[in-house]
Amino acid sequence: MRLSRHNNQPLAGADFGSMRFVLLLALPLIAVLGVYRAAALDSGKVVGPNACAECHKQEAEAWKGSHHFKTFRELPRNPEAKKIAERMGIRRIRSESLCVNCHYTAQRKDNKDEAVSGISCESCHGAGKEWIKIHSGFSGKTAKTETRSEAQARWKLAESKGMIRRHALYQLAKNCYGCHVVPQQELVNKGQHRAGSMFELVSWSQGEVLHNTWYSRGKENIPADAERKRMLYLVGLGVELETALRAVGKATVRKAYAFEMAQRADKARRRLAAVATAVPNVPEIAQMVELSHSAALTLNNGKDLAAAADGISQLIVTITDKYDGSTMAGLDSMIPQPSQFKGAARKAAAVN
């Protein structure tokens, strides 16, 4: 790709601008607000991983074997981290919110934020203070005596208080990509932090991160089945595209960040175009690809890119509501194999 002095030149890929308005108008304008932004963890509502581990021992053990846990100790000693921090004018990595947002979990103590662990339970499942008692309380009864409708109401209440459950694929994925794309121009250009991970949701969630040991009572760390893998794969690609478009939208200078994010967006939509061909019975995928071409991958184009990303967000939510993966066997040959998973899943040991 050639550098140019013209800021409105595309940073990657080709464009069919003509589709822009047609597609945006075809989408409902309500409900796009709020769903798409992965909010930074509210430190005032964080209870910390030890509070979860009181009941979730197995899940906590799996977590302790992951990079997410280890970064707490290792990052401040990492020479590369010191260099990045220096370039950013940061003295103490663990107390600067810029690094803390993605590498740590901060908890409010005595009116001050304190980094209490690496990337922990609540970074993915939501800050727990307002739902921790509700989700585990069986509506004041027991697992046996709570009725079905009471259980449904309990989960609904827990979710309204910010709990992100295992079925909430879109929200779970938003959290992963919110960190793993590294949508921060200064950090990449000035700090020379890497411009995100070669992230893919199946391979990155089914290795060292896997901790499906609760409902098996610790007997088994249950991997995603074929249908869930298809959903993870598709939702992951969609969220990658959405996050990358927003990230390009923050680009204001023709430097590494802009190119890396534009390439990421372009790659995601090419993959999605292939996916759309493989499962033509899910028309929302082709619509996502079309929408991504409605805003040019150029500098200072935040408004158009955010609009495209909002539309894509809406389509992913539609997909998660409408499909369960059973009609998407066409994806199976594209989904990474266990040999490509990131790290090894912990074998379940004792009983929870």
Question: Is 259 near ligand HEC (CB under 6 A)?
Answer: no
User: For residue 288, which of 306, 263, 252, 314 has the smallest C-alpha distance?
Assistant: 314
Residue whose pair of structure tokens reads 């991997």 in the numeric block: 223
Residues 91-130: x where in contact with ligand HEC by CB under 6 A, - otherwise, as a string: --x----xx-xxx---------------xxxxxxx--x--
Q: Which of 71, 117, 292, 313 binds ligand HEC (CB under 6 A)?
A: 71
Are 28 and 315 within 8 A, CB to CB?
no
Question: Is 81 near ligand HEC (CB under 6 A)?
Answer: yes
Candidate ranges 9-17, 165-173, 246-254, 324-332; the one touching ligand HEC (CB under 6 A): 165-173
59: its two tokens: 């899940």
Are 164 and 124 within 8 A, CB to CB?
yes
CB atoms within 10 A of CB 333: 7
Question: Is 340 near ligand HEC (CB under 6 A)?
Answer: no
Question: Is 175 near ligand HEC (CB under 6 A)?
Answer: yes
Q: Which of 20, 43, 45, 56 binds ligand HEC (CB under 6 A)?
A: 56
Phi-psi region of 295 (alpha: psi -120 to 50; beta: other; left: phi over 0): beta
Instruction: Using alpha carbons only, give the angle 341, 325, 343 rounded to the nearest 5 degrees.
Output: 10
- Give least dist CB 3 to ligand HEC, A: 25
Are 175 and 242 within 8 A, CB to CB?
no
- Rounded to whole angstroms, the Cα distance separating 174 from 29 reads 21
- Rounded to whole angstroms, the Cα distance separating 277 from 2 reads 31
Q: Which of 11, 12, 32, 75 binds ligand HEC (CB under 6 A)?
A: 75
Residues within the interface to ligand HEC (CB under 6 A): 47, 49, 51-56, 59-60, 63, 67-68, 71, 75, 78, 80-81, 84-85, 88, 90, 93, 98-99, 101-103, 119-125, 128, 132, 135-136, 151, 165-167, 172, 175-176, 179-180, 182, 184, 187, 191, 193-194, 197, 204-205, 207-209, 211-216, 224, 342-343
